[in-house]
């Protein structure tokens, strides 16, 4: 696949290479198709047939992981005196204040967000600055693990999305889907059943030379009375593939990749849009857009790795909302990244791992057109170990989104984010 968002320098960070390990806690069930995963999670030998929601026509939240540590200070750039401070620390990387977009008095958007400026102006694109972990660290592996587990100090291997899905033990696996990879993110790992696949066409029983319906029937018969965890997983997988069969069979026309700019997000967002339009009860979709670990070759505002990456994201998201059609009115997108970048550029034309970062929100229910939250500033005394200080726990934003889009869980916060009391930032209308 061609790409307009290529790695300029490549990540020389060994820790980032370890990051892929966080996505390998999964079960490949008997019903998995080639290159696909129909996930029936087994943790500690226990299986639970569970997901959250499932009513047709309901809301959908797409969680986009900007893996690698996206540079929030180049996405949402401070204005005024803090821009001057940033320019002094990043003379070769700072986005000129004259090029910033949006009317927020404190911050401006990187100019590569221009395709999404109409959403910003309409109030359906918003952001929060200075977001991060309650105890920040600069390890890709550890930070993303903590973000996706979202239960500090717990020994349980259950991600926050899986905990949320597990609130309803009667729903179906297709309520929660990871697209673009069969490796589930840590946020989806746990006892609740979810689905993972490269694309929706893979959410099917493996082709063994018979019709899909016959394959499902044969497998269902074979495992009908099996009392093992595997048997339970196969039966749940058969139910899911039967529900998804019409979408899978129409994938060639339902997935409209030609509507997207060429690059890494084309396939995954086109498949996500097709899944949401199909209205099969999906409530949570997780996708990755990685390669943000720009220790070198980050580039200037008019060209380079970072600008191309943001441009591809913005153009792809614009195409995604157009592709959704009427389903856009019930779809919300929220981004998350393991940490931000250091305030000062390094000697290789990039930025190293930092603390505070930005979260972006798009679509239904978003109270946008502004940057929410406290801003610690970039004065030397305000920095934490030379980094942007964290003022907002990322769980506050995630909880506000989820409780708004799924009101049925609003009284069960402690089960999704144990021991955490969020603040309200007003990111949802």
Average pLDDT over residues 19-45: 33
**Cα–Cα distance measured from residue 298 to residue 293, given in angstroms and rounded to the nearest whole number:** 9
Tell me the per-residue pLDDT of 67-85, one tens digit each, with 9 for 90 and over.
Answer: 999 999 999 999 999 999 9
32 pLDDT exceeds 60?
no
Q: In this predicted structure, which of 16-30, 179-193, 198-212, 323-337 has the lowest mean pLDDT?
A: 16-30
| pLDDT at position 421 over 70 | yes
If one compares 107 and 302, the residue with the highest pLDDT of the two is 107
pTM of this structure:
0.88
Confidence of residue 220 (pLDDT cuts 50, 70, 90): low
Residue 423 counted as domain residue:
no
The pLDDT-based confidence of 216 (bands split at 50, 70, 90) is low
pLDDT value of position 393 = 98
Average pLDDT of 358-373?
Answer: 98
CA distance 178 to 335: 15
The tokens for 82 are 């803090």
Q: Between these two residues, 292 and 234, which has the higher pLDDT value?
A: 292
**Tens digit of each residue's pLDDT (9 = 90 or more) over 46-64:** 222 233 345 679 999 999 9
pLDDT at 241: 82
Q: Read off the pLDDT band of 209 (50, 70, 90).
A: very low
Rounded mean pLDDT, 7-16 = 57
Owner of token pair 């893996």: 67
- Residue 2 clears pLDDT 50, i.e. is over it: no
Q: Is residue 426 part of a domain?
A: no
Residue 66: give the domain boundaries: 20-281+303-344+362-416
Residue 349 confidence (pLDDT) above 80: yes
Beta bridge partners of 417: none
Q: Give the pLDDT band (50/70/90) at residue 40.
A: very low
Output Rg (C-alpha) for the chain, integer angstroms. 21
297 to each of 10, 96, 242, 428, how far by Cα in Å? 8, 18, 48, 36
CA pair distance 113, 217, nearest whole angstrom: 49
Confidence of residue 20 (pLDDT cuts 50, 70, 90): very low
Scanning 153-263, the segments in alpha helix (DSSP H) are: 160-165, 212-223, 229-249, 251-254
Q: What is the pLDDT of residue 243?
A: 85
Q: Is residue 288 part of a domain?
A: no
State the pLDDT at residue 169.
78
* Predicted confidence (pLDDT) at residue 210 exceeds the cutoff of 70: no
Reply yes or no on whether the pLDDT at 227 is more than 90: no
Residue 381 lies in a domain: yes
Partners of residue 428 on adjacent β-strands: 366
Q: Quick check: is 1 in a domain?
A: no
Name the pLDDT band for 383 (thresholds 50, 70, 90): very high
Distances (CA, A) of 325 to 322, 331, 376: 6, 10, 39
In a domain, 5, yes or no: no
In a domain, 11, yes or no: no
| Tens digit of each residue's pLDDT (9 = 90 or more) over 132-190 | 999 999 999 999 999 999 999 998 989 999 999 999 877 688 999 999 998 999 999 99
Q: Specify if 89 maps to a domain.
A: yes
User: What pLDDT score was predicted for residue 213?
Assistant: 60
CA proximity to 127, closest of 408, 369, 375: 369
**Range with lowest mean pLDDT among 21-30, 108-117, 265-274:** 21-30
Residue 395 pLDDT more than 90? yes
User: How many domains, in total, are found in the chain?
Assistant: 1
What percent of the chain clears pLDDT 90, i.e. is strictly above it?
Answer: 73
pLDDT of residue 259 exceeding 70: yes
């Amino acid at each position: 696949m061609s790409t307009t968002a290529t790695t300029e320098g490549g990540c020389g960070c060994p820790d980032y290479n370890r990051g892929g390990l966080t996505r390998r806690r999964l079960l490949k069930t008997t019903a998995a198709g080639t290159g696909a995963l129909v996930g029936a999670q087994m943790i500690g030998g226990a299986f639970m047939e569970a997901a959250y929601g499932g009513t047709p026509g309901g809301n959908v939240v797409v969680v986009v992981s900007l893996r690698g540590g996206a540079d929030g200070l180049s996405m949402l750039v401070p204005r005024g005196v803090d821009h001057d401070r940033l320019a002094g620390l990043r003379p070769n990387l700072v986005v000129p204040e004259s090029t910033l977009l949006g009317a927020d008095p404190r911050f401006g958007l990187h100019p590569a967000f221009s395709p999404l400026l109409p959403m910003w102006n309409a109030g359906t694109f918003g952001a929060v600055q200075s977001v991060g972990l309650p105890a920040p660290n600069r390890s890709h592996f550890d930070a993303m693990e903590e973000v996706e587990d979202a239960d500090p100090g717990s020994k349980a291997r259950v991600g926050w999305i899986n905990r949320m899905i597990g609130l309803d033990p009667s729903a179906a696996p297709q309520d929660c889907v990871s697209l673009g990879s069969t490796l589930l993110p840590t946020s989806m790992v746990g006892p609740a059943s979810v689905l993972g696949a490269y694309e929706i066409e893979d959410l099917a029983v493996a082709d063994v030379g018979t019709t899909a319906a016959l394959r499902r029937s044969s497998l269902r018969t074979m495992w009908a009375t099996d009392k093992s965890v595997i048997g339970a997983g196969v039966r749940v997988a058969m139910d899911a593939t039967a529900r998804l069969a019409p979408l899978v069979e129409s994938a060639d026309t339902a997935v409209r990749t030609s509507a997207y700019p060429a690059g890494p997000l084309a396939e995954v967002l086109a498949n996500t849009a097709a899944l949401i339009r199909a209205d099969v009860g999906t409530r949570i979709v997780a996708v990755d857009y990685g390669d943000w670990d720009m220790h070198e070759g980050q580039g200037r505002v008019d060209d380079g790795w970072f600008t191309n990456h943001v441009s591809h994201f913005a153009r792809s998201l614009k195409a995604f909302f157009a592709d959704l059609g009427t389903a856009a009115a019930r779809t919300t997108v929220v981004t998350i990244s393991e940490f931000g970048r250091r305030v000062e550029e390094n000697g290789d034309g990039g930025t190293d791992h930092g603390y505070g970062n930005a979260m972006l929100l798009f679509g239904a229910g978003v109270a946008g057109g502004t940057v929410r939250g406290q801003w610690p500033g970039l004065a030397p005394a305000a920095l934490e170990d030379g980094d942007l200080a964290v003022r907002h726990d990322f769980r506050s934003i995630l909880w506000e989104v989820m409780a708004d889009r799924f009101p049925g869980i609003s009284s069960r916060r402690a089960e999704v984010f144990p021991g955490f009391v969020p603040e309200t930032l007003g990111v949802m209308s």
